[in-house]
């Protein structure tokens, strides 16, 4: 056992939770999952008692708790170097970190106007308020990563990396809010990501959550 416990929010809604969950699942790293429903009267109290930041996700390992999706994924990459969760090549790794950081700190129009609702297809396709600009930038990023660095596999940097986990909720949005116009490379990347067993497992969890 790895002794890792990842605490996440609703699978249908919590885009930040999806990222480290997807990383661990896709990389085949065992972990215990703990769930906190986000839209309940008791949510705030539970989060303030359990989570260092009052937010999800957070990771518990031995005697430490770590919060924030990117910090969690960096820690996992250090714990499991054999999984090569960043590209091995130094320049590719530096670009992967830039691409990841840009998502972590940016694309606020897309995140605000198109919140992740994993199970609902056919959501209203509004592209005002900077959404189209964010889509265009992500399309450019995905396209250039696939062309320049993607030859070793189906992911942004060929092999699966933290950069892919960081964009997993965008893949969901580009399905549920479609049609979104993407380059052939970016569209094929979206389809590959959306078809992964880890993505399907998250979607099944989201459906079960709603049904329950
Ligand atoms: N920068 C944080 C963002 C975490 C965040 O905003 N989480 C949301 C859920 S996706 C949350 O916990 N919201 C609390 C609430 O809805 O009460 C990260 O990368 O993990």
Q: Which of 39, 55, 162 to mutate to test the pocket of ligand 1 (most atoms within 8 A of CB)?
A: 55
Cα 100 to Cα 206: distance, rounded to the nearest angstrom? 25
Ligand 1 nearest atom to the CA of residue 72, by list position = 20
Minimum CA distance residue for ligand 1 atom 17: 38
Cα 64 to Cα 62: distance, rounded to the nearest angstrom? 6
The CATH T-level fold of domain 90-198 is Glutathione S-transferase Yfyf (Class Pi); Chain A, domain 2 (1.20.1050)
pLDDT digits (tens), the chain, 212 positions: 789 999 999 999 999 999 999 999 999 999 999 999 999 999 999 999 999 999 999 999 999 999 999 999 999 999 999 999 999 999 999 999 999 999 999 999 999 999 999 999 888 888 888 999 999 999 999 999 999 999 999 999 999 999 999 999 999 999 999 789 999 999 999 999 999 999 999 999 999 999 98
Residues whose CB falls within 8 Å of the CB of residue 132, separated by 6 or more in sequence, listed in order: none
Residue 154 CA to its chain's centroid (Å): 17
The CATH T-level fold of domain 4-83 is Glutaredoxin (3.40.30)
pLDDT recorded at residue 124: 82
The neighbouring-strand residues paired with 6 are: 33, 59
pLDDT recorded at residue 141: 98
User: What would the pLDDT profile of 59-80 be if each residue is shown by its tens digit?
Assistant: 999 999 999 999 999 999 999 9
Ligand 1 nearest atom to the CA of residue 16, by list position = 10
Q: How many C-beta atoms lie closer than 10 Å to residue 113's C-beta? A: 17
Distance 57 CA to ligand 1 centre (A): 7
Q: How many C-beta atoms lie closer than 10 Å to residue 30's C-beta? A: 10
pLDDT recorded at residue 17: 98
pLDDT recorded at residue 46: 98
Q: At what angle do helices 15-26 and 69-79 cross, to 10 degrees?
A: 10
Minimum CA distance residue for ligand 1 atom 14: 55
pLDDT recorded at residue 179: 83
Give the start-to-end residue ranges of the domains of the chain: 4-83, 90-198
* Ligand 1, pocket residues at CB < 6 Å: 9, 14-17, 38, 43, 47, 55-57, 68-70
> What are φ and ψ of residue 69, in 5° steps?
-50, -45
């Amino acid at each position: 056992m790895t002794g890792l416990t990842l605490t996440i929010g609703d699978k249908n809604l919590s885009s930040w939770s999806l990222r480290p969950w997807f990383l661990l699942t896709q990389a085949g790293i065992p972990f215990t999952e703990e769930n906190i429903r986000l839209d309940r009267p008791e949510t705030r109290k539970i989060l303030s008692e359990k989570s260092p930041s009052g937010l999800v996700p957070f990771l518990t390992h031995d005697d430490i708790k770590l919060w924030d999706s990117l910090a969690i994924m960096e820690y996992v990459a250090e714990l499991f170097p054999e999984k090569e969760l960043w590209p091995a090549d130094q320049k590719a790794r530096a670009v992967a970190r830039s691409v990841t950081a840009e998502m972590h700190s940016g694309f606020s129009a897309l995140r605000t106007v198109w919140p992740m609702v994993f199970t609902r297809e056919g959501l209203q396709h509004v592209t005002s308020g900077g959404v189209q600009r964010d889509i265009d930038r992500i399309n450019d990023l995905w396209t250039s990563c696939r062309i320049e660095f993607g030859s070793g596999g189906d992911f942004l940097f060929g092999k699966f990396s933290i950069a892919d986990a960081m964009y997993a909720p965008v893949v969901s949005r580009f399905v549920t809010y479609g049609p979104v116009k993407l380059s052939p490379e970016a569209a094929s990347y979206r389809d590959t990501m959306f078809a992964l067993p880890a993505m399907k497992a998250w979607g099944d969890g989201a459906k079960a959550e709603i049904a329950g």
